[in-house]
Copies of this chain bind each other. A is one copy, B any other.
């Protein structure tokens, strides 16, 4: 199977697949004409990585997950540890973003948003809390 096909099936851009090969994440065969040739196993790997990436795992984490996936002897606790760590990072990011969201929403609410120059958003960014005593 050619790269275009593999891209369509896995949901990954061809460019990204080439990049994954470059960094040693997958190793497709080559046809006589020099084209990459993807087997069903390669395709599974690609989909695996695609899903892991969409869950926010870094490429290096994907590499680790892949090797655990390949390893028939692995302990599921290893995987769980990795996943939990990552979940912690996701949660931390969510917390950060919620804080940002709250702060920004508050500033936006205070801003009348007409064509007067007075602007609580800029004041907030400038460190002037107009509303405070």
Contact = CB atoms under 8 A, between A and B. Distances in A.
A122 interface: yes
Contacts of A112: 76
Nearest to A111: B80
Contacts of A68: 119, 122
Interface in A101-133: 101, 103-105, 107-108, 111-122, 124-127
A83 B90 CA distance: 24
> Copy number in this complex?
2
Given A75-B115, A90-B104, A97-B97, A80 B121 contact: yes
Given A69-B125, A76-B118, A80-B121, 11 more contacts: A48-B127, A56-B97, A65-B125, A74-B117, A74-B119, A76-B117, A79-B113, A80-B113, A81-B113, A83-B108, A97-B97
The 3 closest A-B pairs by CB, nearest first: A76-B119, A80-B113, A75-B115
